[in-house]
Structure 1
Amino acid sequence: MPSDFLKPLGIGRLLDRSFQLYRNHFSKFFLLMLMFYAPFGLLQALFQQGGLSMPVLPSVPKEWSWEEFAENSIANPQWDESNVALLFVYILIVLPVYICLLLPVSTGAVTVIVRGSMQGEEVTLRTALRQAWRRWGRLLGSTIVFMMAMYGLYIVTVVVFVVLIFIFGLGFGGMTALMENNTSMTVLGIIGMAVLFVLFLAVVIAGFGFSIIRFGFYLPHALLEDRGLGLKASWHLTRGHFWRILGGSFVLGTIYYVVSLLVGLMWVIGGSVITTLLGMVLNMVLLPILMTWYVVSYFDLKIRNEGYDLRRMLQQREEQVAAHES
């Protein structure tokens, strides 16, 4: 077993280790993405090219009034029934399959491959998939609980947002009535509300990011351990390591989303099947890097918090003694 794989690492070394494992197992990871995500990507491409080309906002001629726009939208809706049907199929079937099947099993397979490297073992993709499939029930249960927790946080956030907007609206209405002839104070009031709104959005984003990092390492635990669904264990493992994990995730996430943004801009400028396929291939190349970082970070947290390195070294010593005695 490579002893260097069982030492706590800083952000730089974690990133380096992730890229090292990614290079060593690139063929397995790419084949895994090809098996799991290529059909999903092709389905997305078909939706984009054929059906889900709905505009985010309907086009409004400049000479129209809001009344004319409303009347035209009711009489001539820009989203036909086939597009709406495809959208429901995408939301109710395609996304649940991605969240409940593709993501847990593929991440589980990457976890098995990375653990094999840490233990000095060569794990085939077939073996990794078999082990992940055996634990799919636990992976699914953990994913559902995690998604419900995030959805609950979303509902709470929306409720708080609506309440604050209502309070701000009342306050702004009162200030406008009291300062009817004071333009500068009205402007300051509007600026103050805008600043509070931006701060509220920042708190919301930070809250979601914090929750995702603190609870997000549930999948490897659900795969490798027989106790719990992993959310409590993830919270325990990430205690005191939030900023370090956030730093590495930010670096890799920035790379991933910059490339995705460039591909998206290419599609907007001249959308074609080739552009869509290029984006799909780039996603299949980049996504394993994020998965590898995620799994390597999990094992690093195990080493820091639960002495994973000591347990593995003791196990290795026992295996050497047993082999020597035999």
Structure 2
Amino acid sequence: MNGSLNKPKGFGQILDQTFRLSKQHFKTFFLVFLTLVGPFFLLEALINLMMGTSFLKEVSVGPEIFSGAGFESWANDIAAEEEALTPGYLIGSLLLGFVTIVSFFIYPAAQGAIIFGVDHIRKGESFTYKQILKEGFSRYGPLLGSTLLISLIGGGMMIIPMIIIVFLIAFGSLVHPFIGLMMSIVLFTALFVGVLYFMVRWGFGVAISAMEKGSAPALGRSWHLTKRRTWTIVGLFVIYALIVGVITGVLPLTLGLFLGNSVVYQLVVNLVTLFTTMIISVGYAIIYFDLKIRNDGDDLDQLIDEYETV
């Protein structure tokens, strides 16, 4: 049994566990996402190639990019993109959208596999990526159902208030531009915080659907688990988002200077996205088990089981 994963953890300990486990089990966890989502990225690359995207494109970097010739080349690229809006291009765009939608339905199985992997780690059990993949798909129905439900709730919480806020800001701007500005800052901040709060309270329904077969409805159970840890969890996900933002921002931006929006560049960005998604998935699983220990006394159950086997 992994003692550090079977007792309540503080903010820093959860972050440390997230990156430690991601490093120690990188090959296994990354293979989960690469096996499930990687083929969709390859399919996207093939579609982009058929749409005329360069496989490997170098972009000039230096003073010449600011010269007249550089601006002329940039203008020619924009004109070429406008001419590319052919039926074939539109069909390719539709295919890319379809691939993206289909890949969304695969992510719950990957998340479930990571949850099962972390569960094996905390129990001190060995496992393979094929094993946790199988376990993830064994709960695919509940995982997908919870993911879709939470996504729909989150979308509804964003879209409907957004429409109301836009009307309020427009009305405030008619009274005075400064009033409209202040209303936009206050209302959009309130919307962001509110949505984040409820997504944290309900968001662990996915993990519950994977691990607690006989539990109460997942959303209600998630609300119960997070009742005293909401803002701590919000802070953790903000830290995850900042770290992921740096990784997904700096590296692709640097590569983009040399590769442009080529197929190779898109593949590299997709691989970086898989890596960061893996880290967040591991963190999500660790937070879930921490909540479960705090609320259900799972650490005591583990100790009792170990004592009885001695």
Under TM normalisation by the shorter chain, which class is it?
0.7 to 0.9
1:201 aligns with 2:188: yes
Unaligned runs of 5+ in 1: 54-75, 176-188, 322-326
Q: 1:315 to 1:40 in 2, by over 3 A?
A: same
- The 8 Å contact of residues 108 and 223 in structure 1, kept in 2 or not, is answered as yes
Q: Provide the identity percentage.
A: 28
Residues 51-200 of structure 1: matches in 2 within 5 Å?
51=51, 79-91=85-97, 93-101=98-106, 103-165=107-169, 167-168=171-172, 172=174, 175=175, 189-200=176-187
State the partner residue of 2:227.
Answer: 239
Farther off after superposition, 108-117 or 237-246: 237-246
> Which one of the candidate residues 287, 291, 301 is aligned to 2:277?
287
Aligned length: 279
State the partner residue of 1:223.
Answer: 210
1:116 offset after TM fit, Å? 0.6
1:28 aligns with 2:5: no
Farther off after superposition, 126-135 or 265-274: 265-274
Q: Deviations over 1:28-85 (max 9, x none)?
A: 01221221222222334445565498xxxxxxxxxxxxxxxxxxxxxx9984444443
Unaligned runs of 5+ in 2: 54-81
- The 8 Å contact of residues 5 and 286 in structure 2, kept in 1 or not, is answered as no
1:4 aligns with 2:10: no
- The Cα RMSD (Å) is 2.5
Q: 1:241 to 1:233 in 2, by over 3 A?
A: same
- The 8 Å contact of residues 14 and 287 in structure 2, kept in 1 or not, is answered as yes
What is the rounded CA distance, in whole Å, between the counterparts of 1:262 and 1:37 in structure 2?
23
Q: Max radius of gyration: which structure? A: 1
What is the rounded CA distance, in whole Å, between the counterparts of 1:229 and 1:50 in structure 2?
46
Q: What TM-score, normalized by structure 2, do the two folds share?
A: 0.81
1:248 offset after TM fit, Å? 1.9
State the partner residue of 1:185.
Answer: none
Q: 1:250 to 1:77 in 2, by over 3 A?
A: same
- The 8 Å contact of residues 8 and 304 in structure 1, kept in 2 or not, is answered as yes
State the partner residue of 1:61.
Answer: none
Q: 1:148 to 1:50 in 2, by over 3 A?
A: same
